[in-house]
Structure 1
Amino acid sequence: MSATTTQPLTLEDFLHLPETKPANEYISGEIISKPIPKGRHSRLQGKLCAAVNQVTEEAKIAYAFPELRCSFGDRSIVPDVAVFTWERIHFTADGEVPDNFELPPDWTIEILSPEQKPNRVIGNILYCLQYGSRLGWFIDPDDTSILTFLPGQQPELIQGENYLPILPEIKINLTVNQVFSWLKMGIS
């Protein structure tokens, strides 16, 4: 009886596969499917993108992309929100947004879904920081807390009325309570 061996899938091979919904990520040679975003996740993702883009897009400071594939090092991940400073977006010759982002975001934001493993999600944030991201947020809607990551520093758990770290060029101030208040859509 002969043994059949299969070659592990490379990042290049993975990037040639068709996109899926929900998105697949490529981590350490393994394809991992992200869960389909549910209500709280979608609401926080949309509001975070809108809050950042409202103060950064017109002035060409930065842009927050929802569910953007970022491929760098030996991973291809899809952060819930990927914020890039304007000068790091490699626009096409026509001035359009490129399809492929082969660099880590300046600020990566992950919103924990019930089906996700926290350590795997935090692992992606740490990987981004290792490759040059300047800020990471890990949002846990069940705990109403945000774990923040800055390069070379211990993570910090932020709750309540405490302000969150934001890239210095992005002029917004947000507390944890403000972020989670976005979930209360049914209250006037």
Structure 2
Amino acid sequence: MVTLSSNLSLTEFLQLPETKPASEYIEQKIYQKPMPQGKHNRSVMIFQPNQLPEVKYNNDKLTVLNVLGDWQITPADIFNWLKIK
């Protein structure tokens, strides 16, 4: 990250115009966030009863699941299902 200036108050930072790439205020200093590098893609995890989840990518045709009912899935559950340690 590149430091743009130092010792500004939060109020002064909030009055500055937006920048591209975006800037962050951390411990009275302004840092410019780096531009994203590489290709961005969207992946979707599919959950089916009694089966391991599978990952689908942007170019696959998917149906949308808006509701998971009363499920509460944690990242630990996903890693366990995928057997990632």
Fold equivalence (TM over 0.5): no
Question: If each structure's helix is expressed as a fraction of its own residues, which one has the higher value?
Answer: 1
- The structure with the larger Rg is 2
In the superposition, the TM-score normalised over structure 2's length comes to 0.43
